[in-house]
Homo-oligomer: A and B are copies of this chain.
Amino acid sequence: MLHGPDIRTRRDPDKEQVVTKTAPAIRNGVDTPNLFGTIDAVRDRRELAKFQFRATNRWVIGTHSRTTIETFSGAGGEHVHAKEFAYDADHPAVLVGADQGPTPVEFLLHALGACLMAGVANIAAARGVTLSAVEARIEGDIDLQGILGLSDEVRNGYQRVRVTFDIDGDASPEKLREIVEQSRGRSAVFDVLTNGVDVVVDVA
């Protein structure tokens, strides 16, 4: 998701001047004028901020399924991705699957890492920090007694998740750490995973 820079910092006249004077239009591959322009446009028309994302999952065989992702709505209109994205998921052999794709819970780790990473790049660009390399390792611990129906005390999902960043750029370790922290504070996936969301499951 688009992780906005810290607007309060940006509204500080002194700091805004610094950004204006020193930040190139493109830093870390982020089009910062476009990013700031998008935030300004949404500030003026709040209804542009409403998005709906969609996916369609189809059963293939056994625990193997395939999801396609193609359209979404937002910014006042309908959108089509540059191409239709398709992803397989499955269970590995040790969990009685054919390993045609990662498990669904591994995709949660991907979503979390990718969301935090997009935020890191955007926020670094907004703060005038040029990144050289960033990597995040994501681990999730789970006790399958829950989903196997062997215990009512053990939850179905992860018991804990850890993300460890290695981040290199032209800023102090403290400033790089603050960028990661700001990304965490504005991450859509981190919010959903830590705070939960209302999910309704229906049969047509």
Listed in ascending order, the chain A residues whose CB lies under 8 Å from chain B are 1-8, 28-31, 34-35, 38-39, 42-43, 46, 49-59, 61-65, 67, 69, 72, 74-75, 79, 81-82, 85, 87, 89-92, 94-122, 131, 133-150, 154-167, 173, 176-177, 180-181, 184, 186-204
Complex Cα–Cα for A42 and B151 (A): 11
How far is A181 from B201 in the complex, measured between Cα atoms in Å? Answer: 8
Contact indicator A104/B1 (Cβ below 8 Å): yes
Minimum CB–CB distance from A193 to chain B (whole Å) comes to 6
Pick from B63, B104, B117: contact of A59, CB under 8 Å: B117
Main secondary structure of the interface of A (DSSP, over half): mixed
State the number of copies, please: 2
Contact of A49 among B108, B110, B138, B144 (CB under 8 A): B144
B104 near A111 (CB under 8 angstroms)? Answer: yes
